[in-house]
């Protein structure tokens, strides 16, 4: 039994709908296991820009910093906030990631057996897939070379004699590479003991350095099988033979792209949770930010069509990594599996012979499965 404070940042588009269901499920966990969760809800994204003048206010950042964990919905993607605005909703994410030093983003991909046919990829290719992408989250092209880094403003557009030109910089230091590689090797030790380090060392200097550091770190983990893979080849192998992978570790932008691809192994973007971790300790464990990997999906917002499972599984990761509540996290995963196994789906996963539920109904089913 414990008391925990969770900062909740629902954000834009479908963010609030899916976050509400994650909270419903957390409440079911609280009553089943006798815990008490206090939620500190704050504005983020467009709502925060409109009400507070920034994508996330300093006061809200402070609430996050003082909480035991952060539950995040989604920001951005709204047509009304295109590149021409000075403050972009996505800056909230960059401020949180950089400000709280969440340099390691864990994105597990483990398709449920009863969802294999929901993926466009053949079931026989998918069966047995169980991988995690460890994405570097506070460096690379997202932040460029500005010192101090300007979150969310990685590019510069300049006027030249030949017209406008734009520049982004891919910068990594040895220390940044080493710490993310160590996260990957430590994760592999608890799993199938294999690390694939993904880069573009045949072209990029930052990748040549990445390989050198990766080789050095790998020497400290002789019990873990280690390989390098070029990012283009990895994109291909992910759908050719996903079962070959265990832990994939890679730089920020490669990880962003590969995880959208990998989400299709699990049937839908709506199934993939994530955890962003750093080194900040709390009274109960490590501070972390937990969010579904899908975006704000404004086209389906407010219609009850969103799949809340990625948000619910993100809440499970929150329990495991920041609160140290492993059995509670497993209970959520089991409840999700039971509900899917029973034939309930959201629209993104609908197939013949299944029953399509609205966002709230899916949350209620999962909460009810937990109560049993
Ligand atoms: C993600 C998202 C974000 C990113 C966007 C919303 C800025 O795509 O978390 O994968 O690119 O990191
Ligand atoms: Mg992404």
Q: Tens of pLDDT along 259-272?
A: 999 999 998 999 99
Cβ 154 under 6 angstroms from ligand 1: no
pLDDT of residue 44: 97
306 dihedral zone (left: phi>0; alpha: psi -120 to 50; beta): beta
The answer to whether residue 280 is domain-embedded is yes
Q: How many Å separate Cα 179 from the centre of its chain?
A: 18
**Annotated binding-site ranges for Mg(2+):** 232, 256, 260
Distance CA 186, CA 224 (A): 9
Compute the residue count for the chain.
372
Check whether 49 has a pLDDT greater than 90.
Answer: yes
**Annotated binding-site ranges for substrate:** 97, 107, 135, 232
Q: State the distance from the centre of ligand 1 to the C-alpha of 262, rounded, in angstroms.
A: 14
Closest to 63 (Cα-Cα) out of 40, 44, 47? 40
Distance CA 206, CA 103 (A): 17
The answer to whether residue 258 is domain-embedded is no
Domain containing residue 54: CATH number: 3.40.718.10
For residue 70, give its domain range: 1-105+269-372
Q: State the distance from the centre of ligand 1 to the C-alpha of 151, rounded, in angstroms.
A: 13
The answer to whether residue 89 is domain-embedded is yes
Cβ 251 under 6 angstroms from ligand 1: no
* Three-state secondary structure call for residue 276: strand
Distance CA 310, CA 307 (A): 7
The answer to whether residue 322 is domain-embedded is yes
* Three-state secondary structure call for residue 49: helix
Percent of the chain with pLDDT over 70: 95
**Which residues are catalytic, by number?**
142, 200, 232, 256, 260
Containing 268, the helix (H) or strand (E) segment is: none
Give backbone dihedrals phi and psi of 139, rounded to 5 degrees, phi first. -140, -165
pLDDT band (50, 70, 90) for residue 350: very high
The answer to whether residue 259 is domain-embedded is no
Q: State the distance from the centre of ligand 2 to the C-alpha of 301, rounded, in angstroms.
A: 18
| Among protein residues, the one whose CA lies closest to atom 5 of ligand 1 | 90
Residue range 80-105: mean pLDDT, rounded: 85
Cβ 69 under 6 angstroms from ligand 1: no
pLDDT band (50, 70, 90) for residue 113: very high
pLDDT band (50, 70, 90) for residue 71: very high
pLDDT of residue 146: 63
pLDDT of residue 249: 99
Distance CA 187, CA 195 (A): 9
Check whether 128 has a pLDDT greater than 80.
Answer: yes
Query: For the chain, what is the domain count?
Result: 1
Task: Return the higher-pLDDT residue of 90 and 230.
Answer: 230
pLDDT of residue 167: 82
The answer to whether residue 22 is domain-embedded is yes
The answer to whether residue 213 is domain-embedded is no
């Amino acid at each position: 039994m414990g008391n925990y404070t969770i900062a909740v940042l629902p954000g834009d588009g479908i963010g609030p709908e899916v976050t509400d269901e994650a909270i419903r499920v957390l409440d079911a966990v609280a009553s089943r296991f006798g815990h008490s969760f206090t939620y500190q809800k704050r504005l983020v994204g467009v709502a925060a820009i409109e009400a507070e003048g920034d994508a996330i206010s300093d006061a809200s950042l402070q609430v996050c910093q003082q909480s035991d964990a952060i539950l995040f919905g989604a920001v951005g993607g709204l047509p009304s906030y295109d590149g021409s605005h000075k403050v972009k909703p996505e800056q909230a994410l960059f401020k949180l990631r950089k400000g709280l030093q969440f340099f390691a983003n864990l994105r597990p991909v483990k398709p449920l057996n009863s969802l294999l046919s929901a993926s466009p990829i053949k079931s026989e290719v998918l069966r047995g897939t169980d991988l995690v992408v460890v994405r570097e989250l506070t460096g690379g092209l997202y932040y460029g070379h500005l010192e101090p880094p300007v979150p969310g403003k990685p590019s510069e557009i300049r006027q030249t004699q030949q017209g406008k030109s734009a520049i982004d910089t891919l910068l990594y230091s040895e220390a940044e590479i080493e710490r993310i590689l160590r996260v990957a090797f430590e994760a592999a030790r608890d799993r199938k003991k294999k690390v694939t380090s993904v880069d573009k060392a045949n072209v990029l200097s930052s990748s040549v350095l990445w390989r050198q550091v990766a080789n050095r770190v790998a020497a400290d983990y002789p019990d873990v099988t280690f390989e390098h893979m070029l990012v283009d080849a990895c994109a291909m192998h992910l759908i050719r033979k996903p079962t070959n992978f265990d832990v994939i570790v890679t730089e920020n932008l490669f990880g962003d792209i590969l995880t959208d691809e990998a989400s299709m192994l699990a049937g839908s973007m709506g199934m993939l949770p994530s955890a962003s971790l750093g080194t900040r300790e709390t009274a109960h464990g490590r501070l972390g930010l937990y969010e579904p990997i899908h975006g704000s999906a404004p086209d389906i917002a407010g219609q009850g069509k969103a799949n809340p499972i990625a948000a619910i599984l993100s809440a499970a990761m929150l329990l495991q990594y920041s609160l140290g509540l492993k059995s509670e996290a497993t209970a959520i995963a089991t409840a999700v599996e039971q509900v899917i196994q029973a034939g309930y789906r959201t629209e993104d996963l609908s197939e013949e012979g299944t029953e399509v539920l609205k966002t709230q109904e899916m949350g209620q089913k999962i909460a009810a499965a937990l109560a049993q």
